[in-house]
């Protein structure tokens, strides 16, 4: 059977940090392809396991930590940014050694790219791949290609492209490339990420859902996944049990967009199963959860299951703005949420609220007002800098204000977009 090499590329950016990242899309694809009899290899250029204990990059107690980095030249369009630009990930020597030692020789190479403004790193990675496998077909997909399809086809040196959810489209392409007759299900079954591809692993992200129930003006979730799907609780539990009791990891991050929706039939029974099974690890919510769904029962389950990082999707304190963009919560919901955390005995030092910063039409006074209310409520602030995303409601507002972003994803990087809009303030101030 054919051998397929999956590659998670380097990040080229001004800043990057490993908050329990893993290429979930590639790991799900790996599981799918193994089910069809393909042999699979993975090269994760962002894998920190090789230098997990090096002093300079030593992880925090929760197994998040710094990527290795080396300064590189900035692309021409970013020369105006007065910051150093880096390649984040394993050394080039390590990457080239892994490419050289891939056995058997891959029949196809699949490369992903998550953030749109990381496409530069993805293409730099592909240039290296071409040195070792000049004639091997490269298939490119991921969030960037889905959102910037035309730009991707013009700027990425791949042979084939997959837009949107990749499972069935990849099987169809493999049928065509190799004259196969793979049976393709109209509704793909739930696929657990294949973490066995990592020799060493210290933390992992987990998804219990796909998509989102909301359609916020600044978010691409509904564009990427039109349907909201909640995965079977027993299957999600199997993944967590495997990671903790077989792979012995200590930290799991939920990256769902709507983890707590329908909590009585989804999150709550999953947590009860974890607590009853005496699974011991730290859970993290870097992607934020919806404030109005934090009931006392949910807060208590978070306490019992050992949630160590809790992020709230506050975004702004202006209720009119929320009603216009999403209608996700009210100030009463926020007060009730914090009260439930207190009653459940959750240490509020573990809780932070995101402020979405740099939106079109947003003033510095709006940000300060939200920050003051968060500070007075006794929890810390996490600033989330806005990055314009094509096809969203806020995209048109963004390009009207900054037309230069229209044809260059690198300029939508939140670090760059903040400079374009003269948004300078000390994010460390609370």
In the prediction, which pLDDT does 283 show?
98
Query: Which pLDDT does position 324 carry in this prediction?
Result: 65
Beta-carbon count within 10 A of 38 CB:
19
Q: Are 140 and 158 in contact (CB under 8 A)?
A: yes
- Residue 416's SS3 state is helix
Q: What is the structure's pLDDT at 53?
A: 72
Q: Can you identify the CATH homologous superfamily of domain 3-178?
A: Cobalamin-binding domain (3.40.50.280)
Q: Which of 14, 123, 94 is nearest to 414 (CA)?
A: 14
Determine the pLDDT at residue 423. Answer: 64
**Segments of the chain assigned to CATH 3.40.50.280:** 3-178
pLDDT at 427: 44
* Strand positions, DSSP E, 290-350: 307-315
C-alpha span between 288 and 301 (Å, rounded): 17
The topology under which CATH files domain 202-420 is TIM Barrel (3.20.20)
| Cβ proximity of 27 and 195 under 8 Å | yes
Instruction: Please report the pLDDT score of residue 349 as a whole number.
Output: 95
**87 contacts 121 by C-beta, under 8 angstroms:** yes
Q: Using only C-alpha atoms, what is the Rg of the chain?
A: 22
Cα–Cα distance, 187 to 376 (Å, whole number): 48
pLDDT of residue 430: 38
How confident is the model at residue 424, as a pLDDT? 53
pLDDT in tens, 33-47: 999 999 999 999 999
At residue 359, the pLDDT reads 85
Tell me how far apart the alpha carbons of residues 225 and 230 are, in angstroms, rounded to a whole number: 12
pLDDT at residue 426, as a whole number:
45
Check: CB of residue 223 under 8 Å from CB of residue 393: no
- Numbered ranges of CATH 3.20.20.70 in the chain: 202-420
Residue 34: C-alpha distances to residues 40, 206, 298, 301 (Å)? 7, 20, 37, 36
What confidence score (pLDDT) does residue 269 get? 98
Ranges in the chain, pLDDT < 50 = 425-430
DSSP 178-232: HT------SSPPP----GGG-SS-SEEEE-SEES-S---TT--HHHH-SS-EEPP
Q: How many angstroms separate the CA atoms of 177 and 174, rounded?
A: 5
Element housing 58 (H / E): none
């Amino acid at each position: 059977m054919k051998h397929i090499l999956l590659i998670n590329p380097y990040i080229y950016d001004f800043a990057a940090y490993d908050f329990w990242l893993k290429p979930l899309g590639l790991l799900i694809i790996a599981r799918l392809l193994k089910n069809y009899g393909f042999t699979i290899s993975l090269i994760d250029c962002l894998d920190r396991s090789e230098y997990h204990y090096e002093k300079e990059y030593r992880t925090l107690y929760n197994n998040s930590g710094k990527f290795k980095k080396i300064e590189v030249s900035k692309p021409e369009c970013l020369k105006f940014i007065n910051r150093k630009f880096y390649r984040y990930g394993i050394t080039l020597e390590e990457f080239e050694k892994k490419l050289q030692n891939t056995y058997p020789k891959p029949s196809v190479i699949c490369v992903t790219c998550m953030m749109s403004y990381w496409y530069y790193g993805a293409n730099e990675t592909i240039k290296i791949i071409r040195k070792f496998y000049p004639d091997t077909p490269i298939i490119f997909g991921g969030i960037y290609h889905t959102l910037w399809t035309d730009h991707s086809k013009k700027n990425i040196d791949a042979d084939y492209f997959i837009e949107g959810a990749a499972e069935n489209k990849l099987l169809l392409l493999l049928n065509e490339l190799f004259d196969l007759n793979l049976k393709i299900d109209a509704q793909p079954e739930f696929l657990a990420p294949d973490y066995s591809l990592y020799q060493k692993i210290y933390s992992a992200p987990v998804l219990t859902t796909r998509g989102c129930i909301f359609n916020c003006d600044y978010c691409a979730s509904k564009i990427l996944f039109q349907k909201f799907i909640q995965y079977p609780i027993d299957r999600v539990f199997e993944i967590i049990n495997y990671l903790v009791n077989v792979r012995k990891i200590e930290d799991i991050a939920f990256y769902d967009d709507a983890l707590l929706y329908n909590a009585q039939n989804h999150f709550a029974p999953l947590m009860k199963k974890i607590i009853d099974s005496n699974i011991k690890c730290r859970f993290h919510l870097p992607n934020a959860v919806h404030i109005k769904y934090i009931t006392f029962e949910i807060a208590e389950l978070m306490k019992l299951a050992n949630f160590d990082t809790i992020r709230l999707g506050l975004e702004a304190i202006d209720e009119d703005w929320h009603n216009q963009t999403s209608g996700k919560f009210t100030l009463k919901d926020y007060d009730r949420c914090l009260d439930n955390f207190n009653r459940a005995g959750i240490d509020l030092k573990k809780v932070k609220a995101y402020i979405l910063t740099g939106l079109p039409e947003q003033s510095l006074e709006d940000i300060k007002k939200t920050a003051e209310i968060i500070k007075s409520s006794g929890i810390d602030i996490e600033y989330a800098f806005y990055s314009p995303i094509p096809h969203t409601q806020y995209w048109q507002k963004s390009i009207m204000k900054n037309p230069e972003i229209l044809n260059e994803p690198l300029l939508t990087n939140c670090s760059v977009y903040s400079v374009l809009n003269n948004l300078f303030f000390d994010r460390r101030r609370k």
